[in-house]
Amino acid sequence: MKKAICFMLTLALLICSFSFLVNADNDLPDYSMEWHEWVQYCGEFEGSNTLISLTPGADETQMNFAWHSDFFSKKPVIRISKNADMSDYTEFSARFTFAENLKQKVNKATATGLEANTCYYYTYGTDHTFSEPVMFKTLSPESFKVFFVSDIQCNSFEGDTEKARQMAYNWQCNLANALNANEDISFILSAGDQTHHGLADEWMYTLSPKALRSLPMATTVGNHDNKTTLYNHYVNNPNTYLGTTPSLTGNDYWFRYGDVLFMSFNANNENIYDHFNFAKEAVMQNTDAKWRVGMLHHDFYGTGGHADNNENIWLRAEFCPIADIFEFDIMLTGHEHIYGRSYYMYNGEIVENEGYENGNVTDPQGTIYFTASAASDNCRVYDEPYDFEWLAFTILNQESIYSTMEFDSYTLSINSYFCDTNEQVDEFNIEKSDTSFADTSEVTFGDYFNEAVEQLCGDYFFIVELLQTIIGTIMSMFC
């Protein structure tokens, strides 16, 4: 009996040990760093401008990569393998464009055919000189979790290296703490202002956390990113919509992950025709999606003074009809550096949805607008919160807040936490019994334009209707 028990215990120990060895490389490491470690780490990449960025691909079977290399290097490629030693790799060629300087070029590649719930390793390089292998994981698209942040806004203006390192360190610490509490993250959503002046050094610091070598980040163009045309040099966005007036800074794009359609808008581009057509095209190509998520930088239903300035009044009239017509479930914004969420909004009015005050709604009508705080602790703090009629919940605090969004076919759970303590500060749950959307294939730009003008004019829209009637009458007399 003793021999049998001993044998069973030994066998169990061997199985556990084997399981640990198999799964050890699949777990995310602890990305935490002390300040002295961070300073040493910064010395390894500062001045090189070669940190690679990962972006979600067109769907969960793809991963996009972008990196800078020497201008005269040849054949930029990404190699993907399921093995840490990079054996049996698959190679994907990169296309390249001119960089912001004369010494480098920008390489962009897409890895395809990725399987769910798999640990992969990648290297990138040119001329047969490759980086050290780095791990990334693909999780299940059936039920998944993402981070939502905004306004990382690393600042290196006038060569203030110490300030840039400190802001990047704040971002690094906040991201590491969040990942230590949430290892099951599929990707990050960042609602703009990744940089403060749009400079190459600022992009370098924004991309500096080691976690970003393994975790893709979907971004949008903020007003600070828009100060230069470098945004496109540091991201590789899928399904980019060029439209009639392509932006040198960055354009609208969409991607699909499981049952969720994500649409990112460059709100700095004032071409409303392109934004409408982009949204319609994305929706028509994903009519089976069960969730529709929009993301842009400006917080026109936001938490602070920006929300009600002239720019955002116009943007509210521009984008809210898009959310209304195409039935966006949620719109993610930043810009204000103050966390909060609106009531459900439709046609410029608050929609009463049962259960909202308790943070649980079922089959809600309208769109809810979330505003993120600043991801690098650059949050705004006032004595009193703004008292906008649309604002349902807000937190005034210097400490950064991150949110997790968990999707499955019928539920979306949004949980928000202080970055340094992971203390929960907000919870909101959306449930759907019907995941279908209205058919919008016949909706025209004219339909959208009328709604936009109505939101902009408010109670004075009757003047526009009167003018339309008069013009229509005159035209009918001469046509």
Q: Are residues 126 and 237 in the same domain?
A: no
Residue 19 lies in a domain: no
pLDDT, position 467:
55
The Cβ of residue 149 has, within 10 Å, a number of other Cβ atoms equal to 27
**224 and 322 within one domain:** yes
- Please, what is the angle between helix 310-325 and helix 272-284, to 10°? 30
**101 and 224 together in one domain:** no
User: What is the model's pLDDT at position 469?
Assistant: 63
Let me know whether 105 and 241 are in one domain.
no
- CATH code (residue 250): 3.60.21.10
Domain that holds residue 106: 61-138
What is the rounded distance in angstroms from the CA atom of residue 479 to the CA atom of residue 459? 32
Give the separation between CA 392 and CA 374, rounded to whole angstroms: 19
Burial zone of 46 (CB within 10 Å; 0-12 exposed, 13-18 middle, 19+ buried): middle
Q: What is the CATH number of the domain that holds 85?
A: 2.60.40.380
Decide which of 138, 163, 186 is a domain's last residue: 138
Helices 161-181 & 35-45, crossing angle to 10 degrees?
A: 110
Residue 211 covered by a domain: yes
Let me know whether 185 and 259 are in one domain: yes
Looking at the structure, tell me whether residues 435 and 329 fall in a common domain.
yes
Q: What's the 3-state SS for the chain?
A: CHHHHHHHHHHHHHHHHHHHHHHHCCCCCCCCCCHHHHHHHHHHHCCCCCCCEEEECCCCCCEEEEEEEECCCCCCEEEEECCCCCCCCEEEECEEEECCCCCEEEEEEEECCCCCCEEEEEEEEECCEECCCEEEEECCCCCEEEEEECCCCECCHHHCHHHHHHHHHHHHHHHHHHHHHCCCEEEEEECCCCECCCCHHHHHHHCCCHHHHCCCEEECCCCCHHHCCCHHHHCCCCCECCCCCCCCCCCCEEEEECCEEEEECCCCCCCHHHHHHHHHHHHHCCCCCCEEEEECCCCCCCCCHHHHCHHHHHHHHHHHHHHHHCCCCEEEEEEEECEEEECEEECCEEECCCCHHHCEEECCCCEEEEEEECCCCCCCCCCCCCCCCCEEEEECCCCCEEEEEEECCCEEEEEEEECCCCCEEEEEEEECCCCCCCCCCCCCHHHHHHHHHHHHHHHHHHHHHHHHHHHHHHHHHHC
Q: What is the pLDDT of residue 295?
A: 98
Q: Tell me, what's the pLDDT at 20?
A: 33
Q: Would you say 231 and 198 are in contact if contact means Cβ atoms under 8 Å apart?
A: yes
Any domain includes 3? no
Shared domain check, 467 and 373: no
Q: Show pLDDT as tens, one digit a residue, over the chain (479 residues).
A: 444 444 443 444 333 333 333 333 446 788 999 999 999 999 888 888 889 999 999 999 999 999 999 998 888 999 999 999 999 999 999 999 999 888 999 999 999 999 999 999 999 998 778 999 999 999 999 999 999 999 999 888 767 788 889 999 999 999 999 999 999 999 999 999 999 999 999 999 999 999 999 999 999 999 999 999 999 999 999 999 998 988 889 999 999 999 999 999 999 998 999 999 999 999 999 999 999 999 999 999 999 888 888 888 889 999 999 999 999 999 999 999 999 999 999 999 999 999 999 999 999 999 999 999 999 888 887 767 788 999 999 998 888 999 999 999 899 999 999 998 999 999 999 999 999 999 999 999 998 998 888 777 665 454 555 555 666 666 666 76
207 with 116, same domain: the answer is: no
Alpha-carbon gap, residue 20 to 28, rounded angstroms:
14
Q: Does some domain include residue 87? A: yes
Residues 80 and 198 reside in one and the same domain: no
183 and 89 belong to one structural domain: no
pLDDT at 460: 47
The answer to whether residue 13 is domain-embedded is: no
> Given 106, 138, 170, which residue is the final one in a domain?
138
Cα 137 from Cα 145, distance rounded (Å)? 13
What is the number of domains present in the chain?
3
**Per-residue b or e along 186-196, where b marks 16 or more CB atoms closer than 10 Å to that residue's CB:** bbbbbbbbbbb
Please name which of 155, 151, 175, 176 lies closest in space to residue 166, comparing C-alpha atoms.
Answer: 155
- What's the pTM? 0.89
Whether 95 and 240 map to the same domain: the answer is: no
Q: What sign for the dihedral angle of Cα 17, 18, 19, 23?
A: positive
- pLDDT for the residue 73: 87
In a domain, 9, yes or no: no
Q: Per the domain annotation, does 243 fall within a domain?
A: yes
* 118, part of any domain: yes
Distance of CA 101 to the CA centre of its chain: 27
| Domain end point (choices 94, 113, 138) | 138
| Whether residues 429 and 472 fall in one domain | no
